[in-house]
Every structure is written in structure tokens, then in C-alpha cells.
């Protein structure tokens, strides 16, 4: 009896680190969490206040009267074409996600699974593009897109971004690990590559597709540099470009600007509430390779 | 569509000849299938990645203001111009300072958060979500909150309000480069947005450290806390740490959004991409010099990623180490 008790106690000690240690742990985590939430608090507070309260003499922690009217005021204001930009971002985000997934997953599958004598060389040609982040080459891309006449168009916003070498690479790695037996069974049933891909591979990979879709949508929705370069006309602005323009406007309407910011973040909050599992999975997957 | 019926097509010649014919048909079918799957992507990759870079390399040797089809060949003059241009050189200095601050701090903070969340039992998922939540916010939205609310230079900005409680005067966070308070604003935005992302990577790595290592360390007399962290946890995280640092470096290199939005209309604190934006798309629309700048930046980043490949084993998993 006496000899067994210490061996039981020892691992426990290591794990817990004492009551004091764990209190300190919670205090540190709590403070960090509080600081991380402050910006969200500021968005909500400012979006639902009047300008007078935001800029007032004393700091107001919460608006005296919650100004739900700010919401309608934002969409009624003709000087701020926010609705248009919201629509543009939605269309761009959805098309960007669907297009990227379609094009890159097909290519990834082809590179992973279909034997072809030059497949390796082609794969290296894809890998080389990973060395150069697209942001660095925005000048050359703009030169090309402007000579195609795609400036300030939906095409110009969406199409150049679809061909992500990185996403293709992720899909290839994923399909390399996909169980071959499933496809072979499909082949025996007389399906070609195309049929096996759509009937067997895709339906069995929905988790991976969802993870990549979530990440792709968020990065598309949040993209700024390319939409700024392409969106020369106000009609082609995305939400991010619109928000950016408010910061440099002559007249500053704090409550409207923050209401716009709140709305721009809303879709992502939904993603968080309902798709967080895939988002975390996607981050883990994309982060490891970078 | 014909590809899906390959077995059916192959049947008729196979009946008359040796089995080698259907095999060749099979290879041709495979080649066709390969291009069917990869073709759309590869065509797009050539048009929207390879051609722009090639075109830009071409433009960088020409006098190309307001035009993308120039005629005046000027050799390396655009490169000379960019490399002797104070603004461009300054932007590289700005990047260096920025990276030197933001990379180690983000590394430390994300690792710290991961350690906290990893050890916590109660409300673990909640805290993980809180730290991860900012990852979904755009740089533009975050810059807006930072510029218009937290670090607003006027009295009702949050920081100035808090400072006033301690009797400290308002600080013009962004509007004055001396003292350079703008670095605090720039760095904290990125920290808030990115720390959660890297925390997830560290959390995944922490979960993979076998518990036996800690037990063995305890038996060897390592005290829980710093000693265990220094001699067990940290070495086990080396691969992830290296990856995170390189990712942070490449991300810092591409910094644009927060500098552009926070420091609009100022002349200080311009990283390379912002400088390039004003060179190529500003008043002069100098595509030649802009392209030369893009080429220089591309070469620099290639060097970094090649280094990354050396360290991490490019295109392979971490098991190759």
C-alpha cells in the first residue's frame, strides 16, 4: 500500500501544477481573452450609438439608447453605396469559392491519381508558383487584366484568383491519401476517372472540401489589395474597399462606419458559429504547408 | 464524356487483335483524362500567373509610363532607378524593422496562448474560440477599429481615454512619426488578427507530444514549469516553430492592407507593396519601374522560400526531416 501511493500521486502533480498555478492560469487566460474581445465590443458599441455619444466628453460604455436605426440609415444613405458593395462581395465570395474548389480539386486529383508521363514536370511547374505569393505580383497581374479590359468588372475580380497553386497542391496531397480501393471498386463497376471522381471521390471527401471552402471564402471575402487595384469604379467596390474609403472620407459618420464594419463581419461570425469545425481543420491543413 | 466509356470503345479492336491495343487505348484514355482534369487549371495558371510575370519581366526593361505596350528599351535603368530610389530602399528597411518586431512577438504570443489553452480544462473550447475569432476579421475592418476607435488620436479614442484616467495627455498615434507610436498600432493589429491562427498550429503540435516524455522528465527530476517547458516542450515544438516563423516572415513581406489603411496619406511607414502600389498605380503609372520593383521583390521572396524549402523539405511532409 505505502509503496503504490507515491507512484499514483506523482503524475497527478505534474498535470495539475497546484491550485495556485491553475488560478494564475485562469487569470492569465481571462485577461488575454478580455483584451481579444475589446475590439468586438467597440464595433458593437459604436455601431449602435449616436455620433454624439461616441465623441462625447466622457467615455460611454454602452449607448443610452440602442440605435437600431443606424442599420436602416446606412442603407438609405445615397452617398455611401454600401448595399452595392455588400452584393459585390457576396457574389465575388461565392464565385471565388466555387470556382477555386472546382478548378483546383480537379487538377489536384489529376496530378495525384491519373498516370501520365509528364505529370511530374507539370507538378513542378505548379510548385514553382508557390514560391511567389500572388500579392507580390499584383502589378504584372493588373497589367494583364487591364489589357483584357477587365478592370472594374466581376470577371476581373474573380477569375485571376481562381488558379491557386497552393489549393491545387493541398488537394493533390489529400487525394494521394484517399483510399484507392474505393475508386477501384468504382472502376470495376464501369465508371471512368470522371465518373469515379464525381460519384465516389467527391461524395467521400466532403469534409475536406468543406474545410477548404471555408478558408477560401474567408480569404476571398477579406481580400483587399486585388479588389482595390481592380475596383476603380465605385460600382465594382467590394465591402473591404468601401470600408477603406470611409476611413479617408472628408466627413466622418462614426456610427455608420461602425455599422458597416459590423455588417461586413457578420457573415464570418456565421461561419464561426456553424462551420468552426471545418475552419479549424482548414487552418491546420493550410498552415502546416504554408 | 467519351472517356467514361473507354472500356466499351476498347472492346471492338480488342476482339480482333492482341491485348496490347486496348492497353495503348488505355494510356491514351488516361492522357486524355489527365488533361481533362488538369487542363482548366493549367491554362488558367499559364494565363494568370506565368504570362503576367513574363510580361512584367519584359516591361521592366522598357520605359513604360501610362502604357503596357512600350517601345523604348532602356536596359537595366528601371532596376537602377528602383534600387537607388530612396523610397524603395526605405520600404525594404521598413519591412525589415516590421518583421524584426512582429515575427518574434507573434511567435511568442501564439505559443503562449496555445500553452494556456492546452493546459486549461474549464471552458477550453470557449477560450480557444475567443483567441481564434479575430482570424476571420479582415485587415481592413481591424485597421478601421484601430484607427477610428482604439488608437484614434483624439480625446475619445479608447487608448487616449484610458491614458487620461491616469492624467496622461492625448497621443497622436498615427499622425506623427516622431516618436514612432505608429509601430505600436501597426504591430498590435497584426498581432490580434494572426495570433489565433498560429495558436491553432501550436495546439495541434502540443497535442502530439507524447505524455511519456513528461513522465520521463519528471522522473529525471525536471521541475514542472520552466524546466519542463525548456527541455521537453520547446524542443518537441521545433518543427512547428520553424514553420510558424517562416510563415510569419512571408506574411510580413506581403503586408499591405494595414499599412495602406492606417497610414493613408502619410509618407512614413511604407512597406514594399505599398510603395509599389504608389509607383505603378499612383499618379505616374510607371509600369516599367513598378515591374522592376515587382521583379526585385519576387527574387527576394524566392530566396526566402528556397531557404524555407531547405529547412522544411519542400513539397514533403515534416517526416522527411
Q: What is the pTM of this model?
A: 0.83
- Choose among B100, B192, B105: nearest CA to B146: B192
Q: Which residues of chain B neighbour A11 with C-beta distances below 8 Å? A: 215, 218
Q: Of the ranges A11-25, A137-151, A181-195, which one carries the lowest mean pLDDT score?
A: A11-25
- Choose among A225, A178, A245, A229: nearest CA to A205: A178
Q: Which residues of chain A neighbour B119 with C-beta distances below 8 Å? A: 17, 25
- Choose among A159, A231, A142, A241: nearest CA to B279: A142
Cβ atoms < 10 Å from Cβ of B270? 21
Fold of B77-320: MetI-like fold (1.10.3720)
B288 touches A: beta carbon within 8 Å: no
Residues A207 and A275: their CA atoms lie apart, in Å, by 11
Q: Which residue has the cell 464594419?
A: A261
Closest-CA distance of chain B to residue A7, Å: 10
Nearest residue, CB atoms, A168 vs list B36, B41, B243 = B41
Q: What local confidence, expressed as pLDDT, does residue B272 receive?
A: 87
Report the residue of A13, A18, A39 to disrupt the B interface, i.e. the one with the largest count of B CBs within 10 Å: A39
Q: Which three cell numbers stand for residue B78?
A: 528601371
**What DSSP designation does B154 have?**
S
Residue B77, H or E segment = helix B77-84
Residues A226 and A221: their CA atoms lie apart, in Å, by 12
Average of per-residue pLDDT values in chain A: 83
pLDDT in tens, A254-275: 888 889 999 999 888 888 778 8
Q: What local confidence, expressed as pLDDT, does residue B109 receive?
A: 95
Q: What local confidence, expressed as pLDDT, does residue A287 receive?
A: 61
Please indicate whether, in this complex, the C-beta atoms of B130 and A37 are within 8 angstroms of each other.
yes
Residues B112 and B131: their CA atoms lie apart, in Å, by 11
pLDDT one digit per residue (tens) for chain B, 321 residues: 333 434 433 344 434 444 433 444 567 788 888 999 999 999 999 999 899 888 888 888 888 777 777 777 888 888 888 888 888 888 888 888 999 999 999 999 999 999 999 988 888 888 988 998 898 899 999 999 998 888 887 877 888 888 888 888 888 888 777 788 889 999 999 999 999 999 988 998 898 888 888 888 888 888 877 888 888 888 889 888 888 888 888 888 888 888 998 887 777 888 888 888 888 887 778 888 888 888 888 888 888 777 776 766 544 444 333
C-alpha separations of B210 from B116, B214, B217, B236, B238 in Å: 18, 8, 12, 10, 15
Report the residue of B105, B138, B243, B250 to disrupt the A interface, i.e. the one with the largest count of A CBs within 10 Å: B138
Cβ atoms < 10 Å from Cβ of A226? 21
B260 touches A: beta carbon within 8 Å: yes
C-alpha separations of A261 from A18, A277, B88, B185 in Å: 44, 25, 33, 19
Total residue length of chain B: 321
Amino acid at each position: 500500500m505505502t509503496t503504490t501511493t507515491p507512484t499514483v500521486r506523482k503524475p497527478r502533480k505534474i498535470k495539475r501544477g497546484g491550485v495556485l498555478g491553475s488560478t494564475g492560469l485562469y487569470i492569465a487566460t481571462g485577461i488575454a481573452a478580455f483584451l481579444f474581445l475589446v475590439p468586438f465590443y467597440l464595433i458593437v458599441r459604436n455601431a449602435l450609438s449616436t455620433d454624439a455619444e461616441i465623441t462625447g466628453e466622457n467615455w460611454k460604455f454602452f449607448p443610452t439608447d440602442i440605435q437600431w436605426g443606424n442599420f436602416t440609415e446606412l442603407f438609405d444613405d445615397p452617398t455611401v453605396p454600401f448595399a452595392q458593395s455588400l452584393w459585390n462581395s457576396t457574389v465575388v465570395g461565392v464565385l471565388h469559392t466555387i470556382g477555386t474548389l472546382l478548378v483546383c480539386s480537379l487538377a489536384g486529383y489529376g496530378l495525384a491519381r491519373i498516370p501520365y508521363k509528364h505529370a511530374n514536370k507539370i507538378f513542378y511547374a505548379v510548385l514553382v508558383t508557390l514560391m511567389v505569393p500572388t500579392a507580390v505580383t499584383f502589378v504584372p497581374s493588373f497589367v494583364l487584366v487591364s489589357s483584357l479590359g477587365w478592370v472594374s468588372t466581376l470577371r476581373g475580380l474573380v477569375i485571376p484568383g481562381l488558379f491557386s497553386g497552393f489549393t491545387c497542391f493541398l488537394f493533390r496531397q489529400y487525394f494521394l491519401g484517399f483510399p484507392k480501393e474505393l475508386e477501384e471498386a468504382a472502376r470495376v463497376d464501369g465508371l471512368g476517372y470522371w465518373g469515379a471522381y464525381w460519384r465516389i471521390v467527391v461524395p467521400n471527401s466532403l469534409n475536406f472540401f468543406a474545410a477548404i471552402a471555408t478558408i477560401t471564402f474567408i480569404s476571398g471575402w477579406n481580400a483587399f489589395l486585388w479588389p482595390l487595384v481592380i475596383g476603380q469604379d465605385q460600382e465594382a467596390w467590394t465591402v473591404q474597399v468601401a470600408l477603406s474609403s470611409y476611413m479617408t472620407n472628408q466627413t466622418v459618420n462614426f456610427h455608420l462606419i461602425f455599422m458597416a464594419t459590423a455588417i461586413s463581419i457578420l457573415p464570418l461570425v456565421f461561419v464561426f458559429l456553424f462551420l468552426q469545425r471545418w475552419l479549424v481543420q482548414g487552418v491546420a491543413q493550410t498552415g502546416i504547408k504554408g | 464524356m467519351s472517356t467514361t466509356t473507354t472500356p466499351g470503345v476498347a472492346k471492338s479492336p480488342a476482339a480482333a487483335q492482341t491485348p496490347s491495343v486496348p492497353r495503348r487505348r488505355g494510356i491514351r484514355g488516361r492522357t486524355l483524362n489527365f488533361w481533362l482534369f488538369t487542363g482548366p487549371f493549367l491554362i488558367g495558371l499559364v494565363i494568370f500567373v506565368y504570362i503576367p510575370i513574363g510580361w512584367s519581366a519584359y516591361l521592366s526593361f522598357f520605359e513604360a509610363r501610362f502604357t503596357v505596350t512600350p517601345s523604348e528599351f532602356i536596359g537595366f535603368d528601371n532596376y537602377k532607378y528602383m534600387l537607388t530610389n530612396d523610397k524603395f530602399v526605405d520600404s525594404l528597411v521598413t519591412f525589415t524593422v516590421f518583421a524584426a518586431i512582429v515575427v518574434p512577438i507573434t511567435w511568442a504570443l501564439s505559443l503562449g496562448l496555445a500553452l494556456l489553452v492546452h493546459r486549461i480544462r474549464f471552458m477550453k473550447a470557449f477560450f480557444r474560440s475567443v483567441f481564434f475569432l479575430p482570424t476571420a476579421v479582415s485587415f481592413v475592418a481591424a485597421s478601421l477599429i484601430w484607427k477610428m476607435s482604439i488608437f484614434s488620436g483624439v480625446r475619445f479614442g479608447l487608448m487616449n481615454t484610458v491614458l487620461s484616467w491616469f492624467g496622461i495627455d492625448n497621443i497622436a498615434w498615427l499622425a506623427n512619426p516622431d516618436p514612432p507610436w505608429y509601430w505600436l498600432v501597426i504591430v498590435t493589429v497584426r498581432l490580434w488578427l494572426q495570433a489565433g491562427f498560429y495558436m491553432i498550429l501550436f495546439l495541434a503540435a502540443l497535442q502530439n507530444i507524447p505524455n511519456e516524455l513528461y513522465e520521463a522528465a519528471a522522473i529525471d527530476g525536471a521541475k514542472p514549469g520552466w524546466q519542463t517547458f525548456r527541455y521537453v516542450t520547446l524542443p518537441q515544438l521545433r518543427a512547428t516553430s520553424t514553420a510558424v516563423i517562416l510563415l510569419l516572415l512571408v506574411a510580413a513581406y506581403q503586408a499591405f492592407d494595414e499599412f495602406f489603411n492606417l497610414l493613408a496619406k502619410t509618407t512614413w511607414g511604407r512597406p514594399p507593396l505599398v510603395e509599389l502600389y504608389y509607383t505603378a498605380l499612383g499618379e505616374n503609372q510607371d509600369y516599367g519601374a513598378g515591374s522592376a520593383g515587382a521583379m526585385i521583390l519576387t527574387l527576394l521572396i524566392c530566396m526566402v522560400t528556397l531557404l524555407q524549402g531547405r529547412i522544411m523539405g519542400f513539397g514533403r511532409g515534416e517526416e522527411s526531416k
